[in-house]
Structures are given as structure tokens and as C-alpha cells.
Amino acid sequence: MLKNIDYNILNNSIIISSMEFPVYDGIEHHTDYLEKLEEYLKTKNNEKYDIIFGFIKEWLKETKINLKSLNNFKNINKNFLPSDEKNTLILEKRSNEILKNLDLQDKNINNENIYDFLNSILNSINYKLSAVKDGNIIRLSIVNNIFF
């Protein structure tokens, strides 16, 4: 998916494509315009996905969890995820930039709890963080919100 965006974990830089919102010129056929609009929305959603995926990979880089996509985040034991201290550090360091790049800076998003933060940003691309209690273990998964 990294066609239009490059998320570099090593230097925390985000480069977003320069695709602009298509403006209807009144001349082109409306189906042609709708195709341009659909392509624009798809590109923007892919960019958001890549930003979120890059952030989650950065968050998990000190664990043994290696994701190929958001859908690979399945049944992860919460005990294997970074500690609260590391969660606080990454949120302090990256949350404002992530919210700005996802156009969510005006929303009332909790950036003090990593799980609330993840749920909020995942929601922007129709995903969610799901938790299931299995005895004393809490297992987390990222699932597509469209199906729920």
C-alpha cells in the first residue's frame, strides 16, 4: 500500500501525496468526475491506512510482533504489548503529528491512553481495536469495522 506515502520509522517522517481534491468543471461527464472523486477518496484512505500502520509498527518495534498488515493484528495477548510507560512516551512523542496527518486534530481524541487513541485513529479508516477476555488474558485484534 505504500504507493502514495512513505512512512520512515527511523526518522519519523511522513510524506503525503500531493493529490488534490477533484473539482467538477461543469464540462466533463458526471461519471468521469465521480471516478476521479472515488480515486481521490481511495488514495486518501490508503494514505491514512499507511500512517496508522506505520505508527502501530513503530509502537510494536520492541516486541516480537511483526505485522504485514493491520489484519495481521489478531488475538495478541495484551501482556506482550509495550508497557504503559512506553505507551505514554510514544503518545507524547507522536500523537499530535499523527492526528494532524489524519486530519483529526480538531476531534476530541484521548491521547493519554494508547488503546483509546488507537481506536480513534483506526475508526477514521473503518477499523477498530477489539478486546476479548480469555480467562485472565485479554486478547486484542484489529478488525474491519465494515463487517460489524
pLDDT digits (tens, 9 = 90+) for 122-141: 999 999 999 999 999 999 99
**Rounded to whole angstroms, how far apart are CA atoms 61 and 82?**
9
pLDDT tens, position by position, 85-103 = 999 999 999 999 999 989 8
Whole-angstrom distance between the N-terminal and C-terminal Cα of the chain?
24
Global pTM value: 0.80
Question: CB neighbours of 26 closer than 8 A, spacing ≥ 6?
Answer: none
**Rounded to whole angstroms, how far apart are CA atoms 59 and 91?**
9
